[in-house]
Amino acid sequence: MNKIIAVIRREYTERVRTRAFILSTILLPVLIVFTSVVPALMMSSGDRTSRVALVDGTTNGVGEQALAALTTQKLSDKPGALPRFQLTRFDAVGRVAAVQDSLVAQTGFDKGSKADSWDGVIVVTDDAITSGKLNYYGNNVGSFESMGRIQSVFSRVFATSRLSKSGVDPALVMGAMTPADLQTTKVTDGKATGQSGQTSFFIAYIMGFILYLGIILYGQQTMTSVIEEKTSRIMEVLASSLTPFQMLLGKVVGVGLVGLTQMTIWGGSVFLVGSNRDKLASVFHVSADAIQSFPIPTMAPDLLAVFLVYFALGFLLYGALYAAIGSMVNTVQEAQQTAVFVTVVIMIGFFSVFALIKDPAGSLGVTMSFIPFFAPFVMPVRWSLASVPTSQLVLSLALMVIGLLACVWLAGRIYRTGILMYGKKPTFKELFHWIRVG
């Protein structure tokens, strides 16, 4: 037992100290902050009050109505939020082009470099009401939020104007056209979990991805680690004092813990970024609002437990198989070719997640939950999307453990012959002989 711990510790500390590990561990949180802040920074022009000139060439008061509607737009839904636009209307009936040109000439300067400059100029004419086409000139045309608001305000104003022109009561139509808003809530065992359908979907997808990536990346690390021990010829020293089982288990668990460490750091930083959005926003001088668009996934404790158990079991299973492959070959290239068999199985498991998201309780999902190779991908996803009967969970876990033991046994058999073999890759016949004779 102490020997296994020594192997695990060596595998873990040596791996955690590598530059690759430190870089990748730090880079991802940085990337998360970056991806959450940068779009916010980019959109930040839309998140302060914009000075907008409204060139009004309409004769039926559509300009005034739009002005009134735009003035009520706020930067966020919070109470006390700043108005989105600061508008000035220019009556330009008959001389639209001239007014427009003189205002556009004062638009798009950096704040402070020219006083009284405009962020944008909206041009609306009678023609626009019928054609629906109006123009906006500004330095903030990339602000989807502000452009969307302007567009929706004018759509409504135009519609009202067109309807009243045809003698229809606009209020009646607007009321009739109120869109349906589907509110989804996941129910487990007759109790609402408080998760909306969308978060469930999001979590299911993220989990599938993490499982896939984690198992592929770290599984292959156990493989390269075995090859390294073979090529550096330390294997013979180890083989004289450790049993193949100690070496195999120590290696897989050690690498698995490294993966878990990295994921914890990553997951933790996602959580920290998510829960400290406001602080982050003030550090980068962007509005807290813009940064809200970055989603933080939250996981119910039971889901987290299911996820971790299946991740651990799945990793041990695939890690052992990858280690066995590492022991059979001599170079990383050879290993990649052989590992394809395992990788394909993992991919099937991963892609089945997409099918499951549509129908989590279907027979495909249930069947795959009972196949140890796929259960690690399938079960957490099903758990997050639908209520899984406890009996299914128990059966799936039991089969998973049996499958795991079988794989470790098989891998151990291959491993103990493979680690001291140099030269040609074994054929299937030889491999079978290794497993049988050991």
Partner 1 sequence: MSSPAVRVERVTKRFSGHTAVRDLSIEVPAGGIFGLLGPNGAGKSTTIRMIMDIIEPDEGTVSLFGSTERSRNLSAKVGYLPEERGLYKKMKVLDQLIFLGETKGISRSESRKRSNAWLEKLGIADWAVKKVEDLSKGMQQKVQFAGALLHDPELVILDEPFSGLDPVNSQVMKDVVVDIAKSGRTVLFSTHIMEQAERMCDRIVIIARGEKVVDGTVAQVKADFGGSFVALGFSHDKEKAERILADTTLIEKVDDYGATAEVKMATGADPEALLRALVQEGVGLKRFEVVEPSLQSIFIAKVGPDAAVARRSGGDGSSEEGILPDVILGAAEGAIHVVGGHS
Under the binding rule (CB under 8 A), the answer on residue 235 touching partner 1 is: yes
User: Tokens at residue 63, please?
Assistant: 């300009």
- Of 238, 312, 366, 395, the residue at the interface with partner 1 (CB under 8 A) is 238
Least distance in angstroms from the C-beta of 396 to partner 1: 37
Under the binding rule (CB under 8 A), the answer on residue 23 touching partner 1 is: no
Q: Cβ distance 223 to 234 under 8 Å?
A: no
Under the binding rule (CB under 8 A), the answer on residue 224 touching partner 1 is: no
Under the binding rule (CB under 8 A), the answer on residue 333 touching partner 1 is: no
What is the C-alpha separation between 122 and 103, in angstroms, rounded? 10
Say if residue 117 is exposed, middle or buried (CB neighbours under 10 Å; 0-12, 13-18, 19+): middle
Q: Which residues of 288-317 are buried (b: 16+ CB within 10 A; e: fewer)?
A: bbbbeebeeeebbeebeebbebbbbbbbbb
* Nearer to partner 1 (CB atom), residue 12 or residue 311: 12
Part of the chain binding partner 1 (CB under 8 A), chosen from 68-76, 118-126, 145-153, 422-430: 422-430
Part of the chain binding partner 1 (CB under 8 A), chosen from 127-135, 234-242, 276-284, 377-385: 234-242
Q: Which residues contact 310 (CB under 8 A, 6 or more apart)?
A: 211, 375, 376, 379, 380, 400
Say if residue 144 is exposed, middle or buried (CB neighbours under 10 Å; 0-12, 13-18, 19+): exposed
- Of 2, 113, 166, 363, the residue at the interface with partner 1 (CB under 8 A) is 2
Least distance in angstroms from the C-beta of 183 to partner 1: 55
Least distance in angstroms from the C-beta of 307 to partner 1: 33
Least distance in angstroms from the C-beta of 23 to partner 1: 16
Residue 132 backbone dihedrals phi, psi, to 5 degrees: 80, 0
* Nearer to partner 1 (CB atom), residue 142 or residue 438: 438
Which segments within 92-220 are labelled E, that is strand? Answer: 120-125, 135-138, 187-188, 191-192
Under the binding rule (CB under 8 A), the answer on residue 242 touching partner 1 is: yes
Under the binding rule (CB under 8 A), the answer on residue 237 touching partner 1 is: yes
Under the binding rule (CB under 8 A), the answer on residue 240 touching partner 1 is: yes
Q: How many residues bind partner 1 (CB under 8 A)?
A: 30
Least distance in angstroms from the C-beta of 236 to partner 1: 4
* Nearer to partner 1 (CB atom), residue 38 or residue 420: 420
Q: Dihedral through CA 420, CA 422, CA 424, CA 425, nearest 10?
A: 40
What is the C-alpha separation between 59 and 128, in angstroms, rounded? 12
What is the C-alpha separation between 427 and 36, in angstroms, rounded? 51
- Of 233, 390, 428, 436, the residue at the interface with partner 1 (CB under 8 A) is 233
Least distance in angstroms from the C-beta of 431 to partner 1: 11
Interior angle at CA 253, CA 395 and CA 392, nearest 5: 10
Residues that bind partner 1 in the complex, under the rule CB under 8 A: 2-3, 6-7, 10, 13-14, 18, 228-229, 232-243, 420-424, 426-427, 430
